[in-house]
Structure 1
Amino acid sequence: MGRTELGIQEGDYISLRDIARIVRRARSEQGLSENQAAQALGVHVHSVKQAEGQPHRDLLRLRRRILERFTGYTLDGPYYQIRRKA
């Protein structure tokens, strides 16, 4: 198993800080601004900014939605293991 385009090993356990970093990278690699991502998800742009930039905030549900919407991956928890969608 090699590294994914998100810069992590598929199946690895990742931290909440890593999830925030991955979410930012996933959105930007899709060529979307924070505002465009917020509109696509039906949330306020500040929520997207906080999900990406404040890993200590309890925004895991939104981070999971961003990751699954803009990548081919799912996020399994509570230990947060990333896997390619079937």
Structure 2
Amino acid sequence: MPADRTINWPSVTTILSAAILIGTELMGAAWASGWAIAGWFQLGSTVETILQVVFGLAALFAIFVFVRAAFRVEPAFKR
């Protein structure tokens, strides 16, 4: 990192705070979706866990995409 760039802490804090909020909601929805689908179709606890893991991985990917896009839009460094 060049010496003339400093971290823009308000922007970084905003992005990370939004990522925590959105990530918590997505992970909760992933867990609840796996539970609901497995319960609705009476698939058993093993399939429920598999669905929760699959939906959780999709949620983690969505969080990653959000953070990457947010850092492109929001200036993370001051010049």
Q: TM-score, normalised by structure 1?
A: 0.28
Which has the higher Rg, Structure 1 or Structure 2? 2
Relative contact order, higher structure (CA 8 A, sep 6+): 2
